[in-house]
A = this chain, B = another copy of it.
Amino acid sequence: MILDIIDILGLITFAISGVLTAQSKKMDIFGIFTIAFVTSVGGGTLRDVLIGTTPVGWMNNLIYVYTIMGSVIFALMFNKILSYLRTSFFLFDTIGIGLYTVYGVQKGLSLGLHPVICIFLGTISASFGGVIRDILCNEIPIIFRQEIYATACIFGGIVYFGLEALHLEHNLVLILSVLSVISVRIIAVKYKLSFPAFY
């Protein structure tokens, strides 16, 4: 139940980040909605397509469509107050990628895939919505350039399998993995850590 609420909060946050990006590109309402949609569910959709779980996730439950529609309307109506919510957004987004990572890892496990592949799937779930958003907006994906974002997901996936190997209680593994993603991301942003570019 708490997980569902946080999942929805993550969805809202991703959608609003999509709205802001689309507006900066002067898109119309259809473009804005599409960008919000792919930012929110694009990572999970790519994961589902790659593993063959079709029809993809958001087609089976209207909660995704309605949540994103509501978020877009909210973001367009209260555009000015969004800037006051910056810290909340960062928090929801960070919790969101933690959850999406662990969901993705578990989807891979349910298909019997190797842990390394499961970590890839978790990372794709959490971070490729933003990659597709940036491509549709004709930008080089931001996560390829200057953020420890995907790395937090990869770290969370490794923690998941590390804790599983210690035979910890399953729910504890889930919670600690999500927390590890959140911690790495918060520490990285707080101390302005990022990987060097190699060029």
Number of copies: 3
Size class of the contact patch on chain A = 35 or more
| A181 in contact (CB, < 8 A) | no
B65 touches A116 (CB 8 A): yes
Chain B residue numbers with a CB within 8 Å of A51 are 54-56, 59
Stretch at the interface among A3-11, A20-28, A167-175: A20-28
Query: Which chain B residue has the least Cβ–Cβ distance from A19?
Result: B198
A198 touches B23 (CB 8 A): yes
| A144 in contact (CB, < 8 A) | yes
| A189 in contact (CB, < 8 A) | no
B52 touches A55 (CB 8 A): yes
| A111 in contact (CB, < 8 A) | yes
| A137 in contact (CB, < 8 A) | yes
A-B contact pairs, 29 of them (CB 8 A): A25-B140, A26-B197, A27-B140, A28-B144, A28-B194, A28-B198, A29-B196, A30-B144, A31-B144, A32-B198, A45-B50, A49-B54, A50-B54, A50-B56, A51-B55, A51-B56, A52-B52, A52-B55, A55-B113, A59-B113, A62-B114, A62-B117, A65-B117, A76-B198, A79-B198, A135-B136, A136-B140, A136-B141, A138-B139
